[in-house]
Chain A
Amino acid sequence: MKKIIIAAALAVFVFSEGRALAEDPALHGFIQANYSADMDTANPDGKRYKRLEERVQLRLDSSKASYRLFLKGDLLYDHLDDAADAKAREAFVDRTSENWDLRLGRQVITWGVGDLVFINDVFPKDYEAFFAGRPMEYLKKGVDGVKVGLYPEAVSIEAVVMPFFEPNNLPSSSRFWLYDPMPGVTNRVAEEPVSKPANTEVAIRAYRDVAGFDTSVYFYKGWYRTPSMRPDDPAAPSRITLFYPELYTYGLSLQKSAFNGVISMEAGYYDSQDDRNGRDPFVPNSQVKALAGYQRQLMDDLTAGVQYYGEYMRQYGAYEAARIQGFPKEPQYRQVASLRLTQLLLHQNMRLSWFSFYGITDRDYLLNPEARYNLTDDLWAAVGLMVFGGRSDTTQFGSQDKNDNAYLQARYEF
C-alpha cells in the first residue's frame, strides 16, 4: 500500500507539471556477491553463515530542466532463506529552483558528524547489515517522505517530513546470538506508529559556517526506531508488545579543520516524550548524548581518526526505583571510544582499514579490520572480520560474542 501511494505521488508530481523526464537516462549499477561465514559457532538456526547472497543493483538517473528522476533498486538471491527478493533502495524526484529544492520519494539522508555514532542522524539504520559485513551503504535505510531545501543568504535549511514510520533493522534472532531479557516469552506483537497526520515525523536541520566551523542545529519529532518491550504482566509475562516510544531530539554539530586535522563535535538531547519523569521502566529515559572526534593524516595515504562518545541518563533515581529486577541495569553515564585507521596503497587501489569500538563503561568491543582491492577499475573485492566481545553478555557488543564472522564482498560495477 505504502509503495502504491509513493508511486502515485511521484506520477502526479511529474505529470502535473506536464514535463517529460526521460531524456538521456543514465543506467548504471553493479553485480555483487556478499558472503559472511561464522568464525565462532553456528547461528541459533544452525546455519553457519550470516549472509550468503548475490545481488544486482540498477540505478536510473534522468534529468530534464529543473527535474531529476532517480531510481535505485536491488534484485537479490538469498541462499540462507533460499529466496529471491526485490527492493527499492531509493526512488525520488527532485525539483530544483534557485533558492530552494524539493526531493519527493524514498531517499537516504545522513546527518551529523559522528563516525558510526549517530546522535542527530535520526534516520533508520540496518544494524544487521553492518554486523554481518555488508558494504557500508547498506547500514542506511531509505525513508519515504519529502525533503525541502531552503537556501536564503543567512542559513541553509533541510526539512524532512516522513508520513510512514520506518524502524531500524536489528539483527535477526535466527542468524545472530542476542541478549533477550525474557527469552521464555515467544508471544510477541510489534506495534508500529500508524500513518496519520499526528504521527508524521518531522526532522529539521539548519546549517551554515560559523567562525570556520561547519555548524548545524537539528530538531526531530518522531519515534525511537529501536523498539521497547512491554510485557503484559511484569511478574509473569505471557505476551510482549514491541513498541516505538515517542521521541523529540534537539541537537548541534560542529566540524572544522584544526590542529593539522579535522575536529568534530556533536551533541543531542533525547527528550523521551512517553517517560519524561523516568518512572516507566519499559520506556527509555531522556538522555544527553555527545561525541568528539579528531581525524588527521599521519603520513601520505595513512589517516587516523579517534572518537569519544558519552551518554547521560536523566531521572536516574526514578529509573533505579522503577526498574525491573533481573533486567541488566543501565549505567547513568555510558562512554564509548572508537578508532579508525585507513591506509591506501598501490596507487590507492588497495585500502587497508581498521575500525573498532571500545565500550569504556560496558567493557565490550567490536573490531572490524578490512582489506579491499580494486582488481580493475570496474571490479573490487573486500575481505574483513567482525569480531565482538566483552565482559558481560548483556551489553551491545558483549552479547554478540558468538557472532564473530569473516566476510567477503565482491562487486562488478557498470
Chain B
Amino acid sequence: MRRTLLITLTFVFIACTARAATPEEIMRESQGAFLYQGRDFKARVVMRLIGAGGGERVRELTMLRKNSGKTGGDQKYFIYFYQPADVKDMTFMVYKYPGKDDDRWLFVPALNMVRRIAAQDKNSSFVGSDFTYEDVSGRDIEDDTYALVKEEKLNASDCYVIKSMPKAAGDYAYKVSWIDKTNHLPLKEEYYDRQNELYRVFIADEIKAVSGIPTIVKRTMKNLASGHRTETEFKKVEYNTGIEDSLFSERFLKMPPKNRIE
C-alpha cells in the first residue's frame, strides 16, 4: 500500500512539474517497458547455453506472464518446458511479489507431483543459463540507488547511462545500463564485481514491435569470467491474449492447457 502510494505520488509529481526524470524514474520506466508491457504476455523462449569451448545446450519453454497491477507490482509467471528431454512436460509457476520472496511451485509429471520450492535467492541461475531469476523477472527498484553517469549514443540510439548500486551487498558491486531514450528498453548492461572488474554483459540483440510494443526478441548474457554465454530468443510473442487468473493454479500446472502453452 505504501509503495503504491509512493509510486502514485511520484507520477503525480512528475506530471505536475514536468522536470527531467531522475535516474530512479528512468530505471522504473525501463522496467515497465522491459518486464511489464501489456496486461499479459506469452512467448516461446529458446535459450542456447554456449560454453567457452563451443559446446551447446538448449532450453526451450513457453513463458506466460500476467500483471496483477501497476508497473513494479505483483506478477504471475507460468512456464512449460519443452527441452531438454528430461524436463519435458514439467511446469513451473512463480508468484512474484516485489519486496518479499516469491512463491514458486514445480510440477514433476513422472510423479504427478506439485511441490513448492525454496526461492529466496534471486541470483540463482535460471535453468542453468547465464540469466538469473532476477534477470528474467526483474529486480525490485527499491533495492538499488541510481546515478546518471552520462547520456550517449549506442548503435545510433540516444541513451541514458545509469549506474545502479545495490543497497545491500549482492552478487555485483554495481551495474551500468544503457537505456534507450525513445523506447526505454535496456540496450546493454554491464555488471561489475567488487574489484571493479566487468564480469557479465547483457546485450539486446534485436528489438521488434509486437502489437505496437517494442520488445527485445533476442538477447545475450555473457559471463566474461567463464566465457560461457546464453543467447535467448523470444518467438511467437503475444500481448494481451486474455490469460485467465485461474491458469496460475495447481490444476493447470498438472494439466497445462494446450492453447496456452503452444
Contacts and interface: CB of A to CB of B under 8 A. Distances in A.
A380 B86 CA distance: 9
Interface residues of A, number: 45
Contacts of B84: 374, 377-378, 413
A138 B257 CA distance: 27
B121 A297 contact: yes
Given A296-B118, A413-B85, A344 B113 contact: no
Contact of B125 (A30, A108, A295, A347): A347
B251 interface: yes
B255 interface: yes
Given A101-B255, A347-B125, A377 B118 contact: no
Q: Which of B111, B112, B115 lies at the interface centre, i.e. has the most chain A CB atoms within 10 A of its CB?
A: B112
A82 interface: no
B129 A377 contact: no
Contacts of B183: none
A286 interface: no
Contacts of A179: none
A166 interface: no
B127 to A, nearest CB: 7
A191 interface: no
A374 B120 CA distance: 26
B101 A257 contact: yes
A149 B116 contact: no
B86 A413 contact: yes
Contact of B85 (A110, A113, A414): A414
Contacts of B111: 108, 110, 136-137, 140
Given A110-B112, A156-B250, A28 B85 contact: yes
B49 A347 contact: yes
B120 A348 contact: no
A262 B116 CA distance: 7
A261 B118 contact: yes
A172 interface: no
A84 interface: no
A17 interface: no
A259 to B, nearest CB: 9
A44 to B, nearest CB: 31
B154 interface: no
Given A300-B124, A301-B124, A257 B119 contact: yes
B110 interface: yes
Contacts of A214: 116, 250
A374 B249 CA distance: 30
A349 B121 contact: no
Interface in B241-262: 246, 249-251, 255, 257-258
B204 interface: no
Nearest to A301: B124
Contacts of B102: 257
Given A151-B251, A297-B124, A300-B121, A257 B103 contact: yes
A396 interface: no
Contacts of A301: 124-125
Given A140-B111, A214-B116, A349 B128 contact: yes
Contacts of B83: 377
A315 interface: no
B139 interface: no
B118 A297 contact: yes
Contacts of A377: 57-58, 83-85
B228 interface: yes
A101 B254 CA distance: 12
A53 B147 CA distance: 63
B136 interface: no
Given A28-B88, A349-B57, A257 B125 contact: no
Interface string B77-121: 000000111101000000000000111000000111101111111
Contacts of A257: 101-103, 116, 118-119
Q: Which of B83, B111, B116, B249 lies at the interface centre, i.e. has the most chain A CB atoms within 10 A of its CB?
A: B116
Contacts of A207: 250
**6 A-B pairs with least C-beta separation:** A348-B128, A413-B85, A137-B110, A377-B84, A110-B113, A347-B128
26 contacts: A28-B88, A63-B258, A101-B251, A140-B111, A140-B112, A149-B251, A156-B251, A214-B116, A214-B250, A257-B118, A260-B120, A262-B118, A295-B118, A297-B120, A297-B124, A300-B124, A300-B125, A344-B128, A348-B127, A348-B128, A349-B57, A349-B128, A374-B57, A377-B83, A377-B85, A413-B85
Given A257-B102, A262-B116, A376-B57, 11 more contacts: A28-B85, A94-B255, A140-B111, A140-B112, A255-B116, A261-B118, A347-B128, A377-B57, A378-B84, A378-B85, A414-B85
Interface of A: 28, 30, 63, 94, 96, 101, 107-110, 113, 136-137, 140, 149, 151, 156, 207, 214, 255-257, 260-262, 264, 295-297, 299-301, 303, 344, 347-349, 374, 376-378, 380, 411, 413-414
Interface of B: 49, 57-58, 83-86, 88, 101-103, 110-113, 115-121, 123-125, 127-129, 228, 246, 249-251, 255, 257-258
